[in-house]
């Protein structure tokens, strides 16, 4: 496997479309020599991440929850608040959910670079 670099322009594209394209490349499924047990060396750069288009009412309606384990420890944050604070983290979280849940996930995410 050789090192390949890909650039995806996210300006005026839907978040899910850009994230799924990046996840496919990071996983190596676009290559004819795909092996599910090997993390490819594909580098993906997403540019204009802050100009991504969110369809519908997702920014206001979608919420992310985390629970500390203590009574009253449930925290809810809207997608809009996360996106305004750090669009890079928002993209990384979305792509992270699209990758396989195994030891290769961290290796694949190291090859992801997001630029505003």
Residue 1 pLDDT grade (very low, low, confident, very high; cuts 50, 70, 90): low
Domain ranges of the chain: 5-54+86-114
Instruction: Say which residues have a Cβ less than 8 Å from residue 8's Cβ, sequence separation at least 6.
Output: 18, 21, 22, 44, 45, 46, 47
CATH number attached to the domain at 5-54+86-114 = 3.90.1180.10
Please state at what angle helix 87-98 crosses helix 15-27, rounded to 10 degrees: 60
Instruction: State the pLDDT at residue 85.
Output: 94
**What pTM did the predictor assign?**
0.90
Which tens digit of pLDDT belongs to each residue from 31-70? 999 999 999 999 999 999 999 999 889 888 999 999 999 9
């Amino acid at each position: 496997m050789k090192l390949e670099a890909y650039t995806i322009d996210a300006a005026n594209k839907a978040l899910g479309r850009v994230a799924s394209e990046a996840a496919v490349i990071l996983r190596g499924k676009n290559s004819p020599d795909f092996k599910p047990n090997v993390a490819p060396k594909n580098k993906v750069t997403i540019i204009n991440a802050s100009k991504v288009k969110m369809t519908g009412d997702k920014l206001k309606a979608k919420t992310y929850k985390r629970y500390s384990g203590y009574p009253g420890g449930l925290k809810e944050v809207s997608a809009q608040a996360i996106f305004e604070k750090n669009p890079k983290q928002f993209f990384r979280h979305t792509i992270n959910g699209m990758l396989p849940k195994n030891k290769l996930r961290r290796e694949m995410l190291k090859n992801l670079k997001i630029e505003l």
